[in-house]
């Protein structure tokens, strides 16, 4: 199915320093609102992240992952942390499918990136800061798209310490298997993805998989479970997966615009009591949901149907 089904949205009206382009901003908001309702996914251009930084960070990442394992393992994470920063392979999938570096905010002191190749750590930290700014912008637009009070989501989600970024390397597909990451939805607020030219990201819509074809400078945005619950299903957290290409590696960055762990999540009254609609989810602490999702990975259930999704909190209707 053609990639044109995943909308591409130009954010330049929000970076116009000369004129306040209200008409352009409204067009962007309308497009994002439709994308969040119909797809849960869209791509953005003119988003404020320098193209040369995206290219530089991607090249540094590719260089790093070409290092021998013994060198990469020098920045292995400390044991015991639920989301340890540093280099790892995916134990919940298979060590021969992908490997990654996990990074937290630069000010957190929890970054274990290597000193080689020179400039890698600095470019990753700079990219992290830019992604965070894009997250704040998209969050503010979603706030308006949902008709929420001014700055509601910003004040609700005002702690950036749980945000994290991952640099991923997927190994080439084998003759028997090409799965990179199995189908899933993201459990945070908003996710941003940059793919290299290998692609591989696919989005499920109406039972079919739509490939998201990478293009220079484009950032993929997807709405995640927290926004779906807050909006009482008005905006979608859509199922997606990564398919590994044959004969070549795949590299990507994923930035997770997150929520602090002790935040309470439930459908907002604007989408329930105020419009006489029943809540579709019971409330929960974000950290409890994340603990369930982590258990999916560390102790995968033998029956795939037992994997925890946001439907774990869904309220059954008669």
pLDDT bin (cut points 50, 70, 90) of residue 2 is very low
Average pLDDT value for residue range 281-297: 93
> Beta partners for 103?
165
Q: d(Cα 124, Cα 130) in Å, to the nearest integer?
A: 10
Query: In this predicted structure, what is the pLDDT of residue 265?
Result: 98
Q: What percent of the chain has pLDDT over 70?
A: 92
Q: What is the pLDDT of residue 3?
A: 41
- Which has more pLDDT, 120 or 284? 284
CB 256 within 8 A of CB 293: no
pLDDT at residue 49 above 60?
A: yes
Q: Which tens digits make up the pLDDT trace of 200-252?
A: 999 999 999 999 999 999 999 999 999 999 999 999 999 999 999 888 999 99
Residue 157 predicted with pLDDT over 90: yes
**Burial of residue 251 (number of CB atoms within 10 Å: 0-12, 13-18, 19+):** buried
pLDDT score recorded for residue 104: 87
Provide the pLDDT for residue 16.
83
- Specify whether the CB–CB gap between 198 and 245 falls below 8 A: yes
pLDDT beyond 60 at 287: yes
Tens of pLDDT, residue by residue over 266-278, are 999 999 999 999 9
At 278, give phi and psi (nearest 5°): -70, 145
Short-list 138, 157, 181, CA closest to 36? 138
- Pull the structure tokens for residue 88: 């790892």
Q: Which residues contact 294 (CB under 8 A, 6 or more apart)?
A: 82
Hey, what are 162's tokens? 């749980």
- Mean per-residue pLDDT over the chain, rounded: 89
Instruction: Domains for the chain: give ranges and CATH numbers.
Output: 3-262 (2.60.120.330)
Asked if the model's pLDDT at residue 199 lies above 80, the reply is: yes
Residue 178 clears pLDDT 90, i.e. is over it: no
What confidence tens digit (pLDDT) does each residue in 90-108 have? 544 455 688 888 888 887 7
In this prediction the pTM is: 0.93
Cis peptide before 117 (omega within 30 of 0): yes
């Amino acid at each position: 199915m053609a990639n044109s089904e995943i909308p591409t949205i130009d954010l330049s009206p929000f970076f116009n320093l000369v004129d306040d382009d209200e008409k352009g901003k409204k067009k962007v908001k309308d497009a994002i609102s439709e994308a969040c309702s119909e797809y849960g996914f869209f791509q953005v251009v003119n988003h404020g992240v320098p193209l040369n930084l995206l290219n530089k960070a991607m090249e540094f990442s590719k260089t790093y992952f070409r290092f021998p394992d013994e060198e990469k393992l020098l920045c292995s994470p400390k044991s015991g942390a639920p989301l340890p920063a540093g280099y790892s392979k995916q134990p919940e999938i298979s060590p021969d499918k992908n490997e990654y570096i996990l990074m937290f905010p630069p000010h957190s002191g929890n970054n274990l990136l290597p000193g080689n190749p020179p400039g890698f750590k600095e470019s990753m930290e700079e990219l992290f800061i830019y992604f965070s700014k894009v997250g704040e912008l998209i969050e503010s637009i979603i706030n308006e798209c949902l008709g929420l009070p001014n700055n509601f989501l910003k004040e609700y989600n005002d702690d950036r310490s749980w945000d994290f970024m991952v640099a991923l390397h997927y190994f080439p597909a084998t003759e028997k298997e090409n799965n990179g990451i199995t189908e899933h939805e993201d459990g945070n607020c908003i996710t941003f993805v940059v793919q290299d030219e290998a692609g591989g990201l696919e989005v499920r819509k109406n039972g079919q998989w739509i490939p998201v074809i990478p293009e220079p400078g484009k950032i993929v945005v997807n709405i995640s479970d927290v926004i779906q619950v807050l909006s009482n299903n008005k905006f979608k957290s859509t199922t997606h997966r990564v398919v590994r290409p044959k004969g070549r590696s795949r590299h990507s960055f994923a930035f997770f615009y997150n929520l602090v762990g002790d935040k309470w999540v439930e459908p907002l009254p604007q989408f329930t009591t105020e419009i006489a609609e029943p809540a579709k989810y019971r409330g929960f602490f974000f950290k409890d949901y994340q603990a369930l999702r982590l258990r999916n990975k560390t102790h995968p259930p033998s029956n795939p149907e037992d994997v925890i999704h946001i439907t774990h909190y869904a309220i059954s209707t008669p």
